[in-house]
Amino acid sequence: MEMLNPSDPQHIGPYTLLGRLGEGAMGAVFLGRSAGRTVAVKLISPGLAHDDGFRARFRAEVAAARAVPGAFTAPVVDADPDAEVPWMATAFVPGISLHQAVMLAGPLPEPAVRALAAGIAGALVDVHAAGLTHRDLKPGNVLLALDGPHVIDFGIARAADATALTAARLVPGTPPYMSPEQAMGHEVTPASDVFSLGSTLAFAARGSDLFGTGEVTAVLRRVVHDEPDLSALSDRLRLMVAACLSKNPADRPSPRDVVAFVEQDARPMAGAWLPPVLIAAIEQAAAVMAPSQSFGPGAAPAVAPTPPPPPPFAPPAPLPRPSRRKLLLGLAGGTLAVAGGGTGLALALWGGSSGKGDGKGGGKPSPSASLTDPARSLANGVVARPLWTAEIGDRLVQLAGAGHTVVAVTGTYIRAYDRSGRALWEPLANQSDNNGYRVGGMGGDSLAVDGSMAYAVSYAKEPLPTRVLRAVDLATGTVAWTVGRTGASVMTAWVPGMLDGVVYVAGMTMGGGGIGGQSAFVWAVDPKTRQIRWQQDFANPGMSQTMLKVPSSGSRLLYMDSAPDRSSATLTGLDITAGGKPAWEQPSPGPQTALSSLEALDVNWHDGPHCSAGGNFLILSGPLYAVDPANGQVAWQAAVQLPLRAFAAAPDGSLVYGAALDYPGHGLVYAFDAKSGTVRWAGQVPVASPGTVAIQCADGQVYVWINGKVWALDAATGAGRWSFEFAVGSPTDVSRPVAFWAGGGQVYGAGPKGLVALSASGK
């Protein structure tokens, strides 16, 4: 989103242009307003405007699109295909794209996916009845509004098929969401849209592309030949989505069949159809509809001052009101994709800046940018060189270490390396529960490390299938001792962290006395006695999600669990001096209260640096909150406009570092005072594409991982030291944990061939 260029028109038809949304194969897209309507205006490029064949097809497509009802779409409301430069205006839906929503809040809950299925399928019924085929149905072309989902950019892409795209031998569409017949260049029918519907619903339920990302031909090969993994969907949804994804178009249900299927199981929904954090984002985006929210050529967008953090123990403050420009971006960026075939231009901004800095310097901050200005560039162009690479042969799911030893964990074994990359012992067989994915449940890691031992959860068969904690000697790789629980089958277990030499394990059991024979548990394991010092069980109806956070100091653990219907989350302080008994209970703060989405997108560490600082617990619930361990009250809230995606504390606990994505332009990095939440420094680094975010702190530097690329920043000022791409050219899957650790003067991450080590200096 940018202000109008000098060459851009001031008006198109009856619409005054307020700003430029983007540019694609068919032309430019603008935000326009007439006396009574706000619209998205597409102005066809001059090259196509002089193509008589294109103009005729465009005229026919506009006429057909006008016949599509608007209940579940963004309909065409005005057009002039015979103008000197043809244009078209579509209704402007106040909402955010499905892609944007999942990047913000993670996978959608099942009721929302059902509502999404009915709404998109209903839109396809109308589109197909008008004689159109969408051809590019994907998360970026589905808008989530307060009244339900809306489908945009239907059918218009066909006008360009026989012009530039066909001449270039390109297949219109977006690879991960194409149907097999579309991928092979065969005839595209309405059944192709149903396949794309299945892929889109799977994305909403999984939080990631069903057929992956990467090199286009590889993605299309998977679309044509591979059976998709639908394990993240409930049984009923899985059946319906699997039918939509049939390789044979004749085997797919019609959109009417999908609507009927969802209505068959329909249950009344209490309240909004989306999680609170998405409702807040939609309401924030809708403010652009106010008449005062506009700007034209030469008008500087207003900048809203950052409000001070709330006083200690005050109720959480609402999210800050963004500037006028950010309001435009938050809505306009999420509401329109330029339909020109190819992969299209997905304008999936989520309420941040345009990716152009202050609009004058191409992303460069002004010379007077202050230390706390998020527009301050933290990049310096220095690229680190790897010290060594160790081939692993399996997907890394965790890296941890102590001193000059790094421990590498996969789903099948554990290895340890010294600073030179020398393997210290033969691989130790290990079956970890994450196995490369973020598994629902307690959360955390498979392993924790102290000075001489690694404490790893692993699978055991005897006397019944269960999980046990093994102590592995870092020097030799031998198992020094094992401890487990008798009388119950441990279904899954994690090691969130260690506190004062005690190892804490959390997980789920069958036959443990909970409702339906299920219970959640916490163990406190004493390495000195090699026994479970105490254990606490918690009823867990319906396999509700839970988390355990282990701080760097203090006498309380933070236990988080969801309501039986997963509609809200509760915080509980466990007193470790009283055998883990609850000391207090509080509702989780913030707009994002359902634990199914709390920290689900990126945060996969629950150890001290990643859950505590300044004597407080730290949690992400949309904003970042500091919670007093004495009573569970909010001590402060980070006063930044975008929701943080990851955080970590400095080793001394004085600062907390957080990162957010201003997709698709920047990663915004902040340093907060751990006692007050005040911003000490801020800045931005360029981001090529969205993905996972993670942070580690060591050796006087903060390391920010964004989609496989790490930025090393000075911990005191944020000044850039160097950057390095661990996963080049392949967006990281948000459903997988990040294998990334720093310490002992080195930085370690998962690269294409295995474990990669860098020097903290980057040299």
Half-sphere exposure in the Cβ direction for 643 (13 Å, CA)? 29
Which residues is 693 bridged to in the sheet? 706
Rounded to the nearest 5 percent, the helix, strand and coil shares of the chain are 20, 35, 45
The residues, ordered by sequence, that sit 6+ positions from 744 with a Cβ below 8 Å of its Cβ are 401, 403, 404, 405, 406, 419, 698
Output the CA–CA distances (angstroms, integers) from residue 615 to 247, 549, 553, 644, 647, in the order listed: 56, 14, 7, 21, 16
- Taking the C-alpha atoms of residue 369 and residue 719, their distance in angstroms, rounded to an integer, is 13
* 152, 187, 199, 228, 453 from 225: Cα distances, Å: 29, 18, 14, 9, 45
Those residues with Cβ within 8 angstroms of residue 381's Cβ, 6 or more apart along the chain or in another chain: none
- State phi, psi for 334 to the nearest 5 degrees: -95, -5
Residues 574 and 679: their CA atoms lie apart, in Å, by 30
Rounded alpha-carbon distances, angstroms, from residue 484 to 113, 186, 234: 39, 57, 31
CA-based nearest residue to 46, from 3, 18, 5, 8 = 8
Contacts of 571 (CB under 8 A, 6+ apart): 558, 559, 560, 585, 586, 587, 588, 617, 619, 627, 632
Instruction: Please name the amino acid found at residue 667.
Output: G
Tokens read off for 494 = 């994690």
CA distance 762 to 753: 20
Task: List active site positions.
Answer: 136
Task: Please state, as a whole number, how many other Cβ atoms lie within 10 Å of the Cβ of residue 418.
Answer: 13
Q: Give the separation between CA 49 and CA 54, rounded to whole angstroms.
A: 7
- Closest Cα to residue 574, out of 519, 534, 619? 534
CA geometry: angle 638, 667, 641, nearest 5 deg: 35
| DSSP assignment of 516-583 | GGEEEEEEEEETTTTEEEEEEEEE-GGG--EEEE--SSSSEEEEEEE-TTSS-EEEEEEEGGGTTEEE
Query: What's the per-residue H, E or C state across 320-381?
Result: CCCCHHHHHHHHHHHHCEECCCCCCEECCCCCCCCCCCCCCCCCCCCCCCCCCCCCCECCCC
